[in-house]
Amino acid sequence: MSTQDWFAVRLSLQVAITAVIISLPSAVLIGYILAKRRFRGKWLIQNLVNLPLVLPPVVTGYMLLVCFGPYGPVGSFLAHTFHFRIAFNWLGAALASAVVSYPLMVRSIRSAFSSVDSKLEFASESLGINKFKTFLQISLPLASNGILAGCLLAFARSIGEFGATIMIAGDIPDQTRTIPLAIYSLANTIGGIKSGWPLVLMAISLSSISLICGEILERRGWRNDNS
């Protein structure tokens, strides 16, 4: 593998890990609320969360560019106030990956919280522990394997993200060229198809390992042995 290929691998890992870190806190909160709470407008939140799953990634990227681009409301605010740029930067790629992988992460976390027996949470409260501490001490640990599985799923999806990334981060060598962008670039050069193999195999390996680990964790989830 060339130096540029290794850069693409390192950048992809950096982007995917950052995307997971960005998404995790809100995904845990939204997943818990969707699993455990009943309220009006729940369907709306569900649909909003799932939207990136059905939208073409290019559309997601387009909207991110409109919002976070140099002339977008958020992008121009960040540039003028903090001299901080998201578009055409590796952070843009991380943001795109976070948005696209978000529904997968929330789904997994929601499913993990749903499998926590509500009676255990009630038992905890009846022992004098308030709702927030019950969440921290009972719900969260019991859903931890499902949450980790969600992270790995989001990580795998981020490794493979292409459409939204190219829209907001562009394909800048040694700056925003992740594995999928590098493969695309190689495929468009004469004789590049053959030299793309190492990156293709690397992408398959990283995604497969993440998926298998996620599956193992989800199966190992704490089982409620009370019934």
Q: Which residues are near another protein by CB under 8 A? A: 117, 119-120, 122-131, 134, 137-138, 141-142, 222-227
Minimum distance from residue 141 beta carbon to another protein (Å): 5
CA dist 201 and 74 (Å) reads: 37
Minimum distance from residue 135 beta carbon to another protein (Å): 12
First to last CA, the chain: 54
Minimum distance from residue 112 beta carbon to another protein (Å): 13
Minimum distance from residue 137 beta carbon to another protein (Å): 8
CA dist 207 and 186 (Å) reads: 20
Nearer to another protein, 20 or 149 (CB): 149
Nearer to another protein, 79 or 123 (CB): 123
The tokens describing 28, both together, are: 């845990």
Cβ neighbours of residue 77 under 8 Å, at least 6 residues apart? Answer: none
CA-angle at 166, arms to 73 and 169, nearest 5°: 50
Q: How many CB atoms lie within 10 A of CB 167?
A: 22
Nearer to another protein, 39 or 82 (CB): 39
Nearer to another protein, 10 or 223 (CB): 223
Nearer to another protein, 2 or 118 (CB): 118
Minimum distance from residue 220 beta carbon to another protein (Å): 12
Minimum distance from residue 128 beta carbon to another protein (Å): 4
CA dist 50 and 163 (Å) reads: 17
Nearer to another protein, 130 or 188 (CB): 130
Nearer to another protein, 144 or 195 (CB): 144
Minimum distance from residue 145 beta carbon to another protein (Å): 10
